[in-house]
Chains A and B, each alone.
Chain A
Amino acid sequence: MEAQKWVLESPTIGMIFVGASFIIFYAIGWYSQKAAKSSTDYWTAGRSIGSITNGLGMASSYMSLATFMGVTALILKLKVPFVYMWIQFALSIPLITLWYGTPLRRMGAFTPAHFVRERYGLRTSYITVAFMILVMVMYALGQMIGVAKVFEMLFGINYTLALICGGALIVGYVTIGGMYGTSYNAAFQMILMGIAFIIPLGAIMKAMGGTGWWFPPLFYSDMVPAMLDAVPDFFDMKYGFKWYLSLIPCFTLGAMGLPHLGMRVYTASNLKSARGAMVWFTFFCGIVFCSTYTMGFSGVYFQATSGSTIAPTDLDKITLILNSVYNPAWVLAFVIAGAIAAGLSTISANLMAIGAMIAQDIIATIKPDLSDKTMKLIGYAAIAGGGAASILIALNPPNFLVVSILWAFGLAGVTVAPLVILGVWWKPANRYGASVAVLVSGLTYIAVSPYLFPDIVIAGGGLPDKVGMSGALLCVPLCFFLHVTISMITDRIPSMMAKIPYKQDKLLVDKIHGWTDYSEERYNSTGAGIIIAAVSLFFCIYAVLPGGW
């Protein structure tokens, strides 16, 4: 059967909805920024965001354009294994809050790199910042390209013009609003995208004959028998144990290393509010994630039962296609506005992270005596500059930067999460261990990806290599192993320890956990270090053993 190429039939209503939503984003950004009295307020929203708004913002930063487009395409392609890959993303904020979010909030950090600087020194923080900016640029680039493609489709203009106009609009409202504007906009965008995704999905299910249309996230079991007849392998697990295990280092720990997620915790008004936000995040994230699985399920079901075949280039538009088939034009327009809001919320968070790292983790360390007014101006410039750079790169992106946003998760898992986790919870972790571990494991992760050296891969060059799962299964434990062993060895060499302020580093650990007195016994177990090193070494060896994928 010949695949049908999908085109948007009536873009005018879409333009109206998207235009109206941008007016609201700018209004929120403009109104919110008035509350920012200092550069700290600009980057942390005055640490004043309440739990529901923050929970919405956390979920929104996570709901990228992929929620509306990429995920459903990958469910169509990979079927249920991709659902398993997605489910675990909901662990990110609870794990960040548990392991380092609240200690870093207590410390007054702007970004996780800020903590790395305080704990491990400037040199290590520069290495970490370089990796973090690479991760954020890859992440923002994917969103920027996606939003430009939606603009291209909606306005009928070429890609370059769509990118420059769309990109400038996005960078404008993020720069104006700072973290205040980004937080309140993200909350609004989450509501917009949630409604735009779930309610039309219910209508699609009803039109398809599903009786559970009134609660799309979970009630579609009556469509399962027809699905099993049409696509018998839809629920097959397909891959081996290693594939599912590698989701933990690559995506669970990877998400823990994403600076823009950690930064959401630092905007909370207090620690209890941050933890309350995490509960709300789980609710909002779960309802949209589950609806995404339903949308992917409906897409496969539609293709299998309607006799229609979707062109391979249109697989990522399945949400739009289903809406255009089953819903009126104004609903489709609302869905497009929701999709753009999803892309925007993620780009905003990425740009805030890039800007904060440039302004606070690089410029402020090189020139620590700048006035608050100058730092605020640098903040505007850093976000606008980061956004402009993303737009310029997206005009003609180098292949290695658009390989996969998922690959960037693994890089964050390798280069950020182990340093921060050990830095917060294990006093013997020192600067020597951190700098060697992040450099060696980060470069190894890049080397074993199929993009630089196609012959040096772990899982045969397939999907696990392309999205970084195999690399993370090796390099995350490698980072833990190197960090722990080098720290333990150098800890026993007095001449090396004399060169670093290790007593001050240890004091910081107690302080960020809330202790006002210092105890050498706390967070200082040699046994824990040996266990971490042994377990990490085991997983390094397991990762490179052939088979299991």
Chain B
Amino acid sequence: MNSAYKKEIRYTLGFSVLLLICGHLGLLFVAFPSLQNHMIFGFPSQYIVPVVFGWIVLMVVVAFQAKFTNAVDDEIEEINAAAENVK
């Protein structure tokens, strides 16, 4: 099985996990209550960390997602072109 296919699967699963982490940090704070009520930038940790991850960090993750998944598409197109040339 070729590397582009493996990359496609790996990136899809990997970025899904990262996206879910960015959007669902509330789960972390409810699972580990000791993480709550530490003041960060003047806000309680259980509030500001999910808010920042849900926007700023998410944007960074999504930018990398676009970059890497575009690269996989290019790789698939190269493989397709190579296969056409062989024919």
Known contacts being A513-B8, A516-B83, is A98 close to B16, with CB within 8 Å? yes
Residue of A nearest to B76 (CB): A514
B80 adjacent to A224 (CB under 8 Å): no
Contacts of B58 on A, CB cut-off 8 Å? Answer: 90-91, 94, 282, 286
A517 adjacent to B83 (CB under 8 Å): yes
Contacts of A102 on B, CB cut-off 8 Å? Answer: 69, 73
B55 adjacent to A90 (CB under 8 Å): yes
Cα distance, A283 to B55, chains bound together (Å): 7
A221 adjacent to B16 (CB under 8 Å): no
Residue of B nearest to A287 (CB): B55
Residue of B nearest to A514 (CB): B76
Cα distance, A247 to B28, chains bound together (Å): 13
Contacts of A88 on B, CB cut-off 8 Å? Answer: 23-24, 54
Residue of B nearest to A522 (CB): B5
Partner of A279, one of B43, B46, B63: B63
Task: Give a binary string over B23-63; 1 marks a CB under 8 Å from any A CB, 0 the rest.
Answer: 11011011101001100011110111011101110110111
Contacts of B36 on A, CB cut-off 8 Å? Answer: 237
B19 adjacent to A91 (CB under 8 Å): yes
Residue of A nearest to B56 (CB): A286
Known contacts being A83-B51, A252-B23, is A282 close to B62, with CB within 8 Å? yes
A293 adjacent to B23 (CB under 8 Å): no
Cα distance, A85 to B46, chains bound together (Å): 13
Residue of B nearest to A275 (CB): B66
Q: How far is the CB of A427 from chain B (nearest CB, A)?
A: 13
B24 adjacent to A247 (CB under 8 Å): yes
Q: Does A3 contact B (CB under 8 A)?
A: no
Partner of A235, one of B19, B41, B46, B59: B46
B80 adjacent to A515 (CB under 8 Å): yes
Contacts of B37 on A, CB cut-off 8 Å? Answer: 235
Contacting residues of chain B (10-27) with chain A, CB-CB under 8 angstroms: 12, 15-16, 19-20, 22-24, 26-27
Contacts of B12 on A, CB cut-off 8 Å? Answer: 98-99, 425
Q: Does A244 contact B (CB under 8 A)?
A: yes
A275 adjacent to B65 (CB under 8 Å): yes
B46 adjacent to A244 (CB under 8 Å): no
Cα distance, A293 to B50, chains bound together (Å): 12
Known contacts being A83-B51, A99-B12, A221-B43, is A244 close to B26, with CB within 8 Å? yes
Known contacts being A244-B24, A247-B24, is A235 close to B47, with CB within 8 Å? yes
Q: Does A2 contact B (CB under 8 A)?
A: no
Residue of A nearest to B69 (CB): A275
Q: Does A507 contact B (CB under 8 A)?
A: no
Q: How far is the CB of A458 from chain B (nearest CB, A)?
A: 19
Task: Give a binary string over A207-224; 1 marks a CB under 8 Å from any B CB, 0 the rest.
Answer: 000000000011001101
Task: Give a binary string over A502-528; 1 marks a CB under 8 Å from any B CB, 0 the rest.
Answer: 000000000001111101011000000
Q: How far is the CB of A491 from chain B (nearest CB, A)?
A: 21
Task: Give a binary string over A240-257; 1 marks a CB under 8 Å from any B CB, 0 the rest.
Answer: 110111011000100000
Cα distance, A290 to B54, chains bound together (Å): 9
Partner of A290, one of B23, B26, B44, B55: B55
**B-to-A contact residues, CB < 8 Å:** 1, 5, 8, 12, 15-16, 19-20, 22-24, 26-27, 29-31, 33, 36-37, 41-44, 46-48, 50-52, 54-56, 58-59, 61-63, 65-66, 69-70, 73, 76-77, 80, 83-84
**A-to-B contact residues, CB < 8 Å:** 80-81, 83-84, 87-88, 90-91, 94-95, 97-99, 102, 217-218, 221-222, 224, 235, 237, 239-241, 243-245, 247-248, 252, 271-272, 275-276, 278-279, 282-283, 286-287, 289-290, 293, 425, 513-517, 519, 521-522
5 A-B residue pairs with Cβ-Cβ distance under 8 Å, sorted by A, are A83-B50, A102-B73, A221-B42, A237-B36, A282-B59
- Sample of 9 further A-B pairs with CB below 8 A, known A83-B47, A237-B36: A88-B23, A88-B54, A99-B12, A217-B55, A224-B42, A241-B30, A272-B73, A276-B66, A515-B76
Q: Which 9 A-B pairs have the closest CB atoms?
A: A221-B42, A286-B55, A87-B54, A88-B23, A84-B26, A275-B66, A91-B23, A235-B44, A516-B80
